[in-house]
Amino acid sequence: MSNYKTKKRFGQHFLNDFSVIEKLVYEINPKSDDLMVEIGPGLGALTFPLLDKLDTLNVVEIDRDVISRLQQKNESRLSIHGVDALKFDFASLLQKNKRLRVVGNLPYNISTPLIFHLLEFKSNIQDMHFMLQNEVVKRLTAETDTKAYGRLSVMVQYHCKTEYLFFVGPESFDPPPKVDSAIVRLSPWQDKTDSAENEEHLSELVAMAFAMRRKTLRNNLKKILSVEQIESVDIDPSKRAENLSVSDFVKLSDLYTRQQNLKN
C-alpha cells in the first residue's frame, strides 16, 4: 500500500488482487479510442492496467492525497478531475460522436445516489462497470418474484440492462471490507420500448408500491389509483409490487399521469 493511510470518511477499500483486476479489465474490454472515465481511482490498481489499453483516461477523485500521488506519475494521458463525483458534470467530458464508458470501485455509502446521478447522463453513456456491495448488485440485477427485487431493481432496470458479472471477496481489498462485493454491468437502453410519460410519476409510484412490501397494490396504491383503474391495465390489484415487471410499473405510472392531467 506504499504507506498510504486509507480514509474512513471516503469509504476507501483499495482493490489489490491482480486476478480480479485482470478479470475486470477483460469484462470492460477497453478499446484504445474509448472515452472512458474511472470514478475513485485510488492508488491506480485499475487505472494503469486500463491505460495500457487506452489512448487517454479521465479519473474523478475527491481525495487530495490520492490526486497528488497520481500526479507524481507524470502520466500525460491521464486527466485528473479533483471533484466530488456526485456533483461532477459528466457531460463535460463528451467528445463528438462518442459515448462515455464509466468504471469504478464505488464507496458503498454513495453507490446508489451516484448511479442515479450518472443516469441523468444516460443518453451519453455506453456502459458502466462498477464494483459494489454484493447485496446491492443482487438488487440491481434481481428478477421479479424474488426477495431482492425492489424499488432499486425497478428504477435502474427501467433505464439500463443490468448484468451480474462476478463475485469479489473481502480478501481482494486493503483494508478488507466487512462485506462481500461484486461487479455489475449497467448498459443504458438505446431503444427503450417501455418509456413512462412522466418519469417523476414512475419514481413516485414505484416508491409507494414498495413502501409496505407485504401489502398488495390495492393497499399501497389506494391513495392514487382505484382497484378498477389498476384492473383497467390488466394488472391484478391483489398482487404485490415484487410480482410486477418494469413494463407493468410503466403502465400504472402512465395511468397515474393521466389521472394527474385530468385533475389539473
Q: Is the pLDDT of residue 201 over 80?
A: yes
Other beta carbons within 10 Å of 6: 17
Q: What is the pLDDT of residue 213?
A: 86
Q: In the predicted model, what is the mean pLDDT of the chain?
A: 92
Report the C-alpha gap between 227 and 127 in whole angstroms. Answer: 39
Residue entry with cell 447485496: 135
Predicted TM-score (pTM) of this structure: 0.91
pLDDT tens, position by position, 154-199: 999 999 999 999 999 999 988 888 899 999 999 999 887 789 999 9
Residue entry with cell 480514509: 7
Q: What is the pLDDT of residue 194?
A: 83
**Per-residue burial over 138-150, b = 16 or more CB atoms within 10 Å of its CB, e = otherwise:** bbbbbeeeeebbb
Q: What is the pLDDT of residue 137?
A: 97
Q: What is the pLDDT of residue 221?
A: 96
Report the C-alpha gap between 95 and 115 in whole angstroms. Answer: 22
Q: Is 73 helix (H, G, I), strand (E, B) or coil?
A: coil
**Is the model more confident about 4 or about 156?**
156
Report the C-alpha gap between 220 and 234 in whole angstroms. Answer: 17
Which neighbouring-strand residues pair with 47?
none
Q: Is the pLDDT of residue 264 over 80?
A: no
**Is the model more confident about 185 or about 44?**
185
Report the C-alpha gap between 44 and 38 in whole angstroms. Answer: 10
Where are the strands (E) in the chain, listed by range?
14-15, 35-39, 57-60, 78-81, 100-105, 125-133, 160-168, 173-174, 181-188
Q: What is the pLDDT of residue 153?
A: 98
Structural domains of the chain ordered from first start: 8-188 (3.40.50.150), 199-263 (1.10.8.100)
* Residues 36 and 126 sit within 8 Å (Cβ to Cβ): no
Task: Write the DSSP symbol of residue 214.
Answer: T
Q: What is the pLDDT of residue 186?
A: 98
Residue type, 75: E
Q: What is the pLDDT of residue 12?
A: 54
**Ranges 13-17, 41-45, 117-121, 235-239: which has the least confidence:** 13-17
Report the C-alpha gap between 251 and 264 in whole angstroms. Answer: 20
Report the C-alpha gap between 76 and 113 in whole angstroms. Answer: 31
* Residues 17 and 176 sit within 8 Å (Cβ to Cβ): no
* Residues 177 and 13 sit within 8 Å (Cβ to Cβ): yes
Q: What is the pLDDT of residue 5?
A: 54
> For the residues of 7-39, what is the DSSP string, one character each?
-GGGT--EE--HHHHHHHHHHH---TT-EEEEE
What mean pLDDT is predicted for residues 26-50?
94
Pairing state of beta strands 100-105 and 181-188? unpaired
What mean pLDDT is predicted for residues 60-88?
92
Q: What are phi and psi of 199, to 5 degrees?
A: -70, -25
| CA 22-26-30 angle, 5° bins | 115
The CA–CA distances, whole Å, from 140 to 121, 163, 190, 240 equal 18, 8, 19, 19
